[in-house]
Amino acid sequence: MSLRKICDNAVFSSAAIAGVSAMALAGAYFFQYVVGLQPCVLCLYQRVPHALLVILGLTALLLAWKYKKPKRAAFIILLCSVIYAIGAGLGFYHAGVEQHWWVSILEACSNPMISSGTKDLLSQIEKAQAVRCDAVAWQMFGISMAGYNGILSLLMTIYTAIAAVMITRKANGL
C-alpha cells in the first residue's frame, strides 16, 4: 500500500486513529494493573485524549465505511489531529516535568483513592504514597512513557492532518 493510499483512505485512517489510541490506553492500563506502576495526575490527564480519540476514530470509521461519507469522516479526522496535538503537548509537558526542565503547575501531583467516608479517606491518604509527576516510573532508551506518548501523539497529529486534507481532496475529485 502506497503512502498516498494510506493517507487518502478514510476507512484506514479512522481505523488507525481508533487502533493507535486504543493501544496507547491498553499500554497505560497494562503498566498500571499488571506491572504495578501507579499513575500520577499528569499520567491520568494524558489518557483523556486517547479515550476521546477511540470514540472519534470509531465514529469516523462508521461514517466512512458504512455510510460512505468521506468528507464528514475527514472533518472528524481533522478534529482528531487537534486532539492529538493536545495529547502531544501533555506528553511533552509531563516529560519536561520528569526531566526537571520545569516544575508542574499542579500543586498536588498525587492520585488519592476515593472513599465512602471521611475516616476511610483520611486513613487511605495517610497510608498512600503520593505518586510524583516529576519522577520517571519507567523508561526505555532514556525516554519515559510520557515522552513516548508525546512522540506518538505528535506523529499522529501530523498523519491525521495530512490524511484529513487528502481524504477531502480525493472526495472532491482532486
Residues 13-65: tens digit of each pLDDT = 999 999 999 999 999 999 999 988 888 888 889 999 999 999 999 999 999 98
Q: To which residue does cell 516529576 refer?
A: 134
Please report, for the domain that includes residue 23, its CATH number.
1.20.1550
- Residue 123 is assigned to a structural domain of this protein: no
Number of domains composing the chain = 1
Q: What percent of the chain has pLDDT over 90?
A: 48
Q: What is the extent of the structural domain holding 152?
A: 3-104+134-171
Terminal alpha carbon distance of the chain: 20
- Residue 65 is assigned to a structural domain of this protein: yes
- Residue 118 is assigned to a structural domain of this protein: no
pLDDT per position as a tens digit, 66-106 = 888 889 999 999 999 999 999 999 999 988 888 878 877 77
Give this prediction's pTM.
0.82
Report the distance separating Cα 147 and Cα 145, nearest Å.
Answer: 5
- Residue 155 is assigned to a structural domain of this protein: yes
